């Protein structure tokens, strides 16, 4: 079908074949090209959600170990290393 949009050509590797098999069970009425689009958009949404959850976890835990290491602890530790 003619389009002005860019196209992407991919090789069907074993991993992609497995993903396409899953897509066929999830979206059996869609043509293969639309199944690929659905896989890509679902994967992107999943990765974005994971990124956001990781970022939130980092924000929530930022600085909680601030008191775990008192000032000068590295100097005290390194004194044991000197010969």
DSSP 12-59: --HHHHHHHHHHHHH-TTS-HHHHHHHHHHHHHHHHHHHHHHHHHHHH
Q: Is residue 58 part of a domain?
A: yes
Q: Is residue 35 part of a domain?
A: yes
Domain membership of residue 50 as a residue range: 14-62
pLDDT for position 81: 84
pLDDT for position 77: 87
Q: Is residue 80 part of a domain?
A: no
Q: Is residue 18 part of a domain?
A: yes
Whether the pTM exceeds 0.85: the reply is no
pLDDT for position 67: 85
Q: Is residue 25 part of a domain?
A: yes
Q: Is residue 6 part of a domain?
A: no
Q: Is residue 68 part of a domain?
A: no
Number of domains the chain is built from: 1
Q: What is the pLDDT of residues 21-69, one digit of tens each?
A: 999 999 999 999 999 999 999 999 999 999 999 999 999 999 898 888 8
């Amino acid at each position: 079908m003619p389009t002005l949009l860019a196209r992407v050509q991919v090789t069907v590797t074993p991993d992609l074949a497995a993903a396409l098999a899953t897509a066929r069970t999830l979206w059996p009425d869609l043509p293969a090209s639309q199944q690929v689009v659905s896989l890509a958009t679902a994967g992107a949404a999943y990765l974005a959600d994971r990124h956001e959850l990781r970022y939130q976890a980092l924000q929530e835990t930022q600085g909680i170990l601030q008191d775990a290491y008192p000032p000068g602890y590295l100097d005290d530790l390194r004194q044991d290393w000197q010969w």
